[in-house]
Amino acid sequence: MGFEKLLIAAIAQNKKLYLVIGGAGAAVVCLGLAWRSLRSREKVRVGVVSQLLVHPLKSGKGISVALAECHHIGLKHGELMDRHWLVVKEDGHMVAGKQQPRQVLVALTSDGGRLFLNGPGMEELQMPLQQPHNPIMDCRVFGTDIQGRDCGDEAARWITRFLGGEIGYRLVHFEPHMEPRRSADQEALFSQDEKVAYPNVGPVMLLSEASVGDLNGKLQKDVTVERFRPNIVVSDCNAFEEDSWTELLIGDVRLHRVMSCGRCSFITVDPETGIISRKEPLDTLKGYRQCQPSEAEIYKKSPLFGQFFTVKKTGIIQVGDVVYRIGR
């Protein structure tokens, strides 16, 4: 029997086969490794993409889209990259949604090279998407330095008026030539080459409809998936099944799971009203979604809900795409 037939036969029988090369004392090759390699590339259907959400403005209103480009740094739809705009104080420090919960009501959209800001009770503000002559601001996001192109005084006045308060705010835009943040500076579980603009830590966050449904079964008032601000929502799977998905294939995009998303009081902001309760659904999640004791140093007491993924192969993701788990 030839070598190729021998290899195929061994793989077909799921057995280890040893081939002695070059006589006594020579190297030994375990063809069982080939079988395990083959098994590691198996595809198993685990769900379907039911929603894609892009949040151009960090802590702002999400945009539901039918198709998105999946880049190493996050999702993109049309002219808008996920979490590439940021509200900052005049000293450059970011303004988190739990500090100014009304940010969730701000819709940032674009069309034909124009940027649009909309919010309840406000007139729409239009501005150029690119403003290369505006100054670049040095900003701070979760204690890390990063730059942003100032979007101008009109945008600053609009944001300041909408959010209220006694201090001024500015809107900045992360541009491709700027240096992104290293995810590992925020969470050591990420590799040193993974980078993001203004997201908390990971470029893609995934959550299943079933997990939200499981939570709603424990709440007096249902919450929607938008409250948790994922990028990819998956249906046709069991609750929290996404916790075990290490490698995923969606269309031609390949994703690698790094860690769970530890939740804070931001999920107590109602995305429809911009009001923060600091209670639910956080309190309920704390009751049954704590990490394992061995992971307490990573997540502390934050309940886990959703999964952070990095992008190993870029491409297009569409609503309706089948989600495959790669390997066992």
The DSSP result for 138-167, as a single string, is: EEEETTEEEEEEE--HHHHHHHHHHH-SSS
Range 101-127 average pLDDT: 98
Residue 43 confidence (pLDDT): 94
- Which residue type is seen at 309? F
Range 35-61 average pLDDT: 85
The answer to whether residue 23 scores a pLDDT higher than 70 is no
Residue 328 or residue 284, greater confidence = 284
The answer to whether residue 145 scores a pLDDT higher than 80 is yes
Residue 327 confidence (pLDDT): 85
Lowest mean pLDDT among 17-26, 102-111, 182-191: 17-26
Q: Determine the angle formed by the axes of helices 32-40 and 3-12, rounding to 10 degrees.
A: 60
pTM of this structure:
0.89
The answer to whether residue 18 scores a pLDDT higher than 50 is no
pLDDT > 70: percent of the chain: 87
Range 239-252 average pLDDT: 98
Across the chain, mean pLDDT equals 91
Nearest to 298 by CA among 211, 212, 187, 223: 187
Range 38-48 average pLDDT: 81
- Distance from the first to the final alpha carbon of the chain: 31
Residue 328 confidence (pLDDT): 66
Q: Give CA angle at 68 (113, 230), nearest 5°.
A: 110
Range 39-68 average pLDDT: 94
Residue 32 or residue 249, greater confidence = 249
- Alpha-carbon gap, residue 273 to 118, rounded angstroms: 15
Residue 166 confidence (pLDDT): 78
With bands split at pLDDT 50, 70 and 90, how would you rate the model's confidence at 40?
low
Residue 12 confidence (pLDDT): 42
The answer to whether residue 7 scores a pLDDT higher than 70 is no
Residue 51 or residue 36, greater confidence = 51
Range 259-267 average pLDDT: 98
The answer to whether residue 29 scores a pLDDT higher than 50 is no
The answer to whether residue 34 scores a pLDDT higher than 60 is no
